[in-house]
Structure 1
Amino acid sequence: MRLRRSLAVAAIAATALALTACASGSGDDTDAADDAAGTGEFPVTLTHALGETEIAEAPERVATWGWGSTEAAIALGVYPVAVAEQPWTVGEDALLPWVEEAYDEAGVEHPAILDDAEGGATVPYEEFVDAAPDLILAPYSGLTQEQYDLLNEIAPVVAYPDAPWTTPWDEEIRIVAEALGRPADGDAVLAGIDEYFATTAEEHPDFAGTTVANVWDGDGFVYVYTAADARVDVLTDIGFEIAPSVTELDTSDGGFYYELSYEELDKLDADVIVSYHSTEDEAAAFLEKSELQAIPAVAAGRVAQVFDPVKVSAVSPPTALSVTWSGGMPELVESLQAALD
């Protein structure tokens, strides 16, 4: 996700929603606040890459940082009081459409927007203090140890389990559900999403066993997303297989992406390519760029494209709310089928 935002700065992620509606109480601020008390047993202790976090009692003022934890909390019936801004996707002081819709449908006041213009490189500690959270959720983020330690002085922080920006989408939902004392609700959200993926795979048998590589053109090289990246992982849930060449060429040492020079593009062999772009014009240019014809699938026209910042965000990676948003996975699935056809 940090790469996604960095690229944007330099060059310029129905079922889950239904579950959210069911979990959000009667729809006014008071009920939503009461619903935030959770249903599990406390204290809860979570161990993660940056330490161990004990949550002594059900949180009432949750803040989120990074990607996806806002949606996970909302899908569980908890509306954060402060969330990271999304300057690349929807502009300053604006919410992603599926997040805004969830707050409005529940009749909950919009959250405070935490400055995140640098994609997690800096943390607005004073804004966190002003929001007065009693829990900070950041299981899919790029928090450093120093940032974590400073935030932890404001409120307990739940960080990522292994490495920055690599937490699988489903694991993030489980982590958030555990932190909020709502493990059963988390299971219900995941069951709904799994059903959507299973239905999608059944409706598109051509996806089964088809190899895929996910890329973003960096001009002189392409960013190739690895198996550690959730936007890749989610495609395997609908039947695709990560192309062996993606792993063979990987120089990231466990990261979620690596750079592949134009000189080596002929080695990126996959049945289909998924490419991400900021605009429709960039997407069209990608298909015509002579250097990129070295990628076999591009030369053959087997490319599924995602363009427009919000749509890229909906699938990069999907979240508990965006996974079935019409402009996200459903549109990508149609593009993938068209590429194979």
Structure 2
Amino acid sequence: MTLPTRPRRPALPTAAAAAAVAVLTACGAGGPEGDPGASNAPADGYPRTVEHFLGSTEIPAAPERVLPLDAAYVDSVLALGGTVVGFTTFAEDTEALPDYLLDSDWNTGTSDGAVPVGLLWEVDPEAVAATSPDLILSAQVRHGDGYEQFSEVAPTVMSETTGATWKENLVLTGAALDAEDEAERLVAEFEERAAALGEEITAANGGEAPTVSAVRFAGDADGVRLYTPQSYIGVILEDVGLEPGPGVDTGSEEIVTYHSQERLLDLDADHLFVATYDDGGADGVQESKEEYQAAPLWGELTGEITEVDDEYWISGVGLIAAHEVLDDLAEIFGVDPQR
């Protein structure tokens, strides 16, 4: 059974995705819409019913083989000590999960033997079946069109989206893994660490929080992107207590894309964090970046510019990635990382 293809390039955080999934086994089911994250599990944990954006899913037993179809859920499962058996990728030649994810102190799960099951926007149904999952996790914005088919493979739980909702998605994962309390504890722990780090940064900056802009180059057609507080990285920077640069529209959508070099000064702040999507040379990302950075207005930016790792600053969209960002911020500002 084939589902509609994606409407735009999915390697970017807001892209919609679609999947092709064969009706292979029957382990789960969906129902009416409910509040994300709610659970009416009995005392022993399972079977439990998890209410999520696309329905109500019964999980009959503790999941031992979890298939997260989005990077946000790979992160969440590993942060909660679960077992990841497969994952989607942004590039066809990717065979392993990112090193930052595997090496992190906040990864308490396992992904030994985990295999790619296709591109984020083009899931391979045979690869999905081969992982023999007992739980599938994703988001409606990624794979909503395949929800019914995925549910025939294994119990499937989906949030509405990813990005700025990464904390809620961690709690939703906790609901499926009988780990709600742990998920909430991890969120609180992160927020406490971020706030403590922010106090250190503010003190080192003379008692005033510096302004920041998170910028991304993702290809010629995409120009340059500026992330607002309504984005994944924006939530992290706000948790740290860093102020958006004057050009950031704090009430806008999560990403503002500038297709003209005339808007480059809108990026300015005390500190600019610049991420670059790794397209493997296929989409002209590096060429576009060089063109923008060679523009006269780029030279007029007054803030300190720091290149950051796109894998976890922009694409990670989860707790483990967020802690890696905090590590970077501590190094950038020369303060204690508050681990």
TM-score by length of 1: 0.69
Confirm or deny: 8 A CA contact 2:46 2:59 kept in the other structure. no
Task: Letter of the 1:65 partner, please give it.
Answer: L
Partner of 1:303: 305
Work out the CA distance in 2 between the residues paired with 1:77 and 1:248. Answer: 35
Work out the CA distance in 2 between the residues paired with 1:145 and 1:135. Answer: 16
C-alpha RMSD of the superposition: 3.8
The structural deviation recorded for 1:63 is 0.8
Confirm or deny: 8 A CA contact 1:272 1:302 kept in the other structure. yes
Deviations 1:111-134 (A, max 9, x none): 3312343xx221222211111211
Partner of 2:295: 290
Q: Give yes or no for the alignment of 1:64 onto 2:62.
A: no
The structural deviation recorded for 1:204 is 0.8
Q: Give yes or no for the alignment of 1:94 onto 2:96.
A: yes
Partner of 1:194: 191
Partner of 1:324: 323
Confirm or deny: 8 A CA contact 2:163 2:317 kept in the other structure. no
Deviations 1:215-263 (A, max 9, x none): 223458312223332012111111113346332795xxx4545344222
Partner of 1:27: none
Q: Give yes or no for the alignment of 1:314 onto 2:318.
A: no
Corresponding residue to 2:163 among 150, 162, 166: 166
The structural deviation recorded for 1:59 is 1.9
Task: Letter of the 1:135 partner, please give it.
Answer: L
> How many residues get paired?
286
Work out the CA distance in 2 between the residues paired with 1:334 and 1:264. Answer: 29
Work out the CA distance in 1 between the residues paired with 2:109 and 2:71. Answer: 23
1:131-280 equivalences in 2 (<5 Å): 131-139=131-139, 142-161=141-160, 164-205=161-202, 206=205, 209-217=209-217, 218-219=219-220, 221-243=223-245, 245-247=247-249, 250=252, 254=253, 256-268=255-267, 270-277=269-276
Q: Give yes or no for the alignment of 1:79 onto 2:78.
A: no
Confirm or deny: 8 A CA contact 1:160 1:167 kept in the other structure. no
Task: Letter of the 1:74 partner, please give it.
Answer: L
SS of residue paired to 2:198: helix
Work out the CA distance in 1 between the residues paired with 2:251 and 2:170. Answer: 31
Work out the CA distance in 2 between the residues paired with 1:315 and 1:239. Answer: 17
The structural deviation recorded for 1:106 is 7.6
The structural deviation recorded for 1:266 is 3.4
More helix by share: 1
TM-score by length of 2: 0.69
- Structure 2: runs of 5+ lacking an equivalent: 1-8, 16-42, 279-285
Task: Letter of the 1:158 partner, please give it.
Answer: V
Counterparts in 2 of 1:61 and 1:3: CA distance versus 1, 3 Å: closer
Counterparts in 2 of 1:232 and 1:260: CA distance versus 1, 3 Å: farther
Confirm or deny: 8 A CA contact 1:210 1:240 kept in the other structure. yes
Confirm or deny: 8 A CA contact 2:268 2:301 kept in the other structure. no
Partner of 1:12: none
Task: Letter of the 2:127 partner, please give it.
Answer: E
Counterparts in 2 of 1:43 and 1:87: CA distance versus 1, 3 Å: same
SS of residue paired to 1:153: helix
Work out the CA distance in 2 between the residues paired with 1:289 and 1:193. Answer: 38
